[in-house]
Amino acid sequence: MTDSSQFITFNPSESKDTRSGFGAALLELGTTHPEVVALCADLTGSLKMGDFRDAHPDRFFQVGIAEANMISMAAGMTIGGKIPFTGTFANFSTGRVYDQIRQSVAYSEKNVKICASHAGLTLGEDGATHQILEDIGMMKMLPNMTVICPADYAQTRQATLAIADIQGPVYLRFGRPKLPVFYKDNAPFKIGKAQKLMVGDDITIIATGYMVWEAIQAGLILRDQGIHADVINMHTIKPLDSKAIIESASRTGLVVTAEEHQRWGGLGGSVAQVLAEHHPTQMSMVAVDDRFGESGTPKQLMEKYGLTADVIVARSLELIAQKK
């Protein structure tokens, strides 16, 4: 596990949306990787793919509202040596095209990078039909698929650059709203290697994506109460850093997971499986509890569905009390 505590700031000076980190990296890849092509399903602005389109018009393909066709086109392009990056909302990137992903990309082991914005409840006002909360589970179950859920703008940029250099299918999940940019520019990033952001022996908090910042805030609140948490950013859901989970759980004896996803099939389920097989540990999952989303602001929805630092703190204190 990478110890990245020195590569983050607890008082970030700016907030950016993670989708902009994807757009910035895609533009960089246009220069450094001539084999990279981009496909978009009529959401160029929302996916921040406009700069790549303008810089490399011959390598950008606007397929319209035809997501299944986009995935099939991308799979075909890999045969000619291209590295296709597809872009649309997470709901359309997975739920609408699961058959094409399973058959043409995962089963065929095609080098397609499925890049999905507007994931989870923080999509906000568009409501339940667009707020997919099952995509991590759907994608991690596919053989050959790598699943990555970065934590902020800077890490989304790093992850986008990194997936261009690995062979095989990737699902990259990021979001719509702005959130604090807490990773420094020189922070390390390695696919499949978790990052420890705070160090402690009392409890382990493992988070992914949007919830990493909430986990950091929970860690700070607990520290003020004399409780020291191991806070881990599990940015790669598959391959999962099992070693990092076991190492931390073996010291603390308690684990809380946090994710903007259904509790069934997401990060929490993956962590629970590792612990059940290698180091049985008391744990609690902060996630959406078998419900669909609804329309509202991201802040309203995260509070209503219990995806906040305060809830992580409450679950942590409950586990510590049970242990005592």
**Is 303 among the residues known to form the active site?**
no
CA distance 28 to 41: 21
Query: What CATH class is the domain 16-180?
Result: alpha beta
Crossing angle of the two packed helices 267-278 and 242-252, in degrees rounded to 10? 70
CA distance 98 to 102: 6
Pick out the chain residues at pLDDT < 50.
none
**In this structure, which topology does domain 195-323 adopt according to CATH?**
Rossmann fold (3.40.50)
CA distance 299 to 169: 33
What φ, ψ does residue 2 adopt, rounded to 5°?
-80, 130
Burial bucket for residue 126 (CB in 10 Å: 0-12, 13-18, 19+): middle
- Looking at residue 4, what is its pLDDT? 85
Going by the DSSP 8-state scheme, the letter that residue 266 receives in this structure is S
CATH 3.40.50.920 domain position(s) in the chain: 195-323
The separation between the first and the last C-alpha atoms of the chain, rounded to the nearest angstrom, is 28
Residues composing the chain: 324
pTM for the whole thing?
0.97
CA distance 78 to 80: 5
- Looking at residue 185, what is its pLDDT? 86
Instruction: List the structure tokens of 259.
Output: 């994710």
Per annotation, catalytic residue among 67, 134, 214, 247 = 67
What are 282's strand-pairing partners?
A: 254
At residue 109, the 3 state secondary structure works out as: coil
Going by the DSSP 8-state scheme, the letter that residue 183 receives in this structure is B
Q: Are 206 and 235 in contact (CB under 8 A)?
A: no
Q: Are 215 and 52 in contact (CB under 8 A)?
A: no
At residue 36, the 3 state secondary structure works out as: strand
CATH 3.40.50.970 domain position(s) in the chain: 16-180
Element (H, E) at 51: helix 50-55
CA distance 255 to 261: 18
Instruction: List the structure tokens of 112.
Output: 């397609």
CA distance 235 to 2: 12
CA distance 101 to 38: 17
